[in-house]
Structure 1
Amino acid sequence: FNVHGLSAQFLSDKPKFADAVEDLLEFVGDAPMIAHNAGFDFSFLNGELTKCGRQIVHMKRMVDTLQIARSRHPGAKHSLDALCSRFGIDRSHRVLHGALLDAQLLAQVYVELMGGRQIGLGLLGDTGSTASTPIVAQAPRVVRPARVFAVSEGDLAAHAAFMKGIKDPIWGAVASG
């Protein structure tokens, strides 16, 4: 209940997975399936499909936005909320984890991970469209003060010894040239 806000009482008269599996499989067809942390979702989906005696969905159909985000933004946070914030996607109406809302947010995140929304290029009959804002905006330049690093005499000596050990350094040719 704390995750999605759905109580057992609320769910008591809703269809079970086995009752909806045909509609789900027909809807999905053989299209790729996009999920955030897809291995987690696929393990549940395939577990339920197995219980129903159905063929599992192969992982090769999986598009994992978590893996894509990690490869495109290493070291950053990759939760759905963090990605929405990064891409300026409004998630103010998201209070709990809800499948439909999360799918809608993830669709927008996926578009951004794949290169983002693009304005019309006039190639598909959108000649009436005009951009009301410039395509490229000048970002304000932030001038930061130079950082000062304290280097010990030992570090300087170790660096000088290392530099002397380099055979025919390119800067030697430039300096004598």
Structure 2
Amino acid sequence: MRQIVLDTETTGLNPRSGDRIIEVGCVEIINRRLTGNNFHTYINPERDSEEGALAVHGLTTEFLSDKPKFAEIANELRDYVSGAEIIIHNAPFDLAFLDAEFKRLSFPRFADHVGEITDTLVQAKEMHPGKRNSLDALCDRYGISNAHRALHGALLDAELLAEVYLAMTRGQNSLTIDLAVAETATVSDMVLENAPMADIIVMQASEDECAEHEALLDRLDKEVKGASIWRATPGN
């Protein structure tokens, strides 16, 4: 299953009054694993950011002046998200801007190019009613460090949201698989035959697998805000 966590930064709050997208950040998840195949670009909006928006993202007109216009990155973005489930926090905001940009290019609306769209803000409100469910609040709730988030950035926020989404939905897939196995498996299916020790082949972890294991431990350390038990216990 391919999922794309998406975030945008904009010149203001209202695409109907001419506000534009200035940054798009996307993080790819396949089978609940971050792939590193991300999409990120700054965009020249051909207008200034409103004062309030500039204070949030810090992307000045001068910085964006030599960046590509949305029309120059639109096809690459469409190809990247094509058919995937799109995960957005407060989806109506980002979709309104994406639809406005696509409309300028006579493209169908954004949702027509992708699979389903999941709004993590809606999910969070259902899971934590009556509580704050901003991205910062969810990072705190799930032990995900956002100390490096001095300003909003589309790719940084998408990376944080990807970690939040995986934490929010942890166990859902494995539970579904377990139930399916329980319904279809017989006793004979679940009995493992004993094999002589001589027939057991020991496979050593590759360098890539070791690196992936260390990355997993790093994420666990971040979630518990310190050293996880797997690093604290000798031999693990």
Coarse TM-score class (shorter-chain normalised): 0.5 to 0.7
User: In the aligned structure 2, how far is the partner of 1:73 from the partner of 1:6?
Assistant: 33
The share of aligned pairs that are identical, in percent, is 46
Is 2:232 the partner of 1:133?
Answer: no
Q: Show the 5 A alignment for 1:46-61.
A: 46-58=99-111, 61=116
Amino acid at match of 1:45: L
User: In the aligned structure 1, how far is the partner of 2:90 from the partner of 2:107?
Assistant: 23
1:92 CA drift (Å)? 0.4
Give the TM-score normalised by the residue count of structure 1: 0.65
What is residue 2 of structure 1 aligned with on the other side? 55
User: In the aligned structure 1, how far is the partner of 2:63 from the partner of 2:131?
Assistant: 37
Q: Classify the secondary structure of the residue corresponding to 2:83.
A: coil
Give the TM-score normalised by the residue count of structure 2: 0.49
**Which stretches in structure 2 are left out of the alignment for 5+ residues?**
1-53, 173-202, 206-212, 218-227, 231-236
1:49 CA drift (Å)? 0.5
Is 2:123 the partner of 1:27?
Answer: no
Change (3 A) 1:15 1:76: same
User: In the aligned structure 2, how far is the partner of 1:2 from the partner of 1:34?
Assistant: 25
1:76 CA drift (Å)? 0.7
Is 2:12 the partner of 1:12?
Answer: no
Asked which structure has the greater CA Rg, the reply is: 1
Aligned residues: 126
2:122 to 58, 67, 74: 67
Q: Classify the secondary structure of the residue corresponding to 1:92.
A: coil
Alignment RMSD, CA only? Answer: 2.6
Deviations 1:53-99 (A, max 9, x none): 11112287211000000000101100000000000001000011100
Q: Show the 5 A alignment for 1:165-176.
A: none
**Which stretches in structure 1 are left out of the alignment for 5+ residues?**
118-125, 135-177
- Structure holding more strand per residue: 2
Amino acid at match of 1:133: I
What is residue 166 of structure 2 aligned with on the other side? 111
Q: Classify the secondary structure of the residue corresponding to 1:27.
A: helix
Give structure 1 regions of 4+ aligned residues with deviation exceeding 3 angstroms: 126-129
User: In the aligned structure 2, how far is the partner of 1:36 from the partner of 1:89?
Assistant: 16
Higher relative contact order (CA 8 A, sep 6+): 2
1:25 CA drift (Å)? 0.5
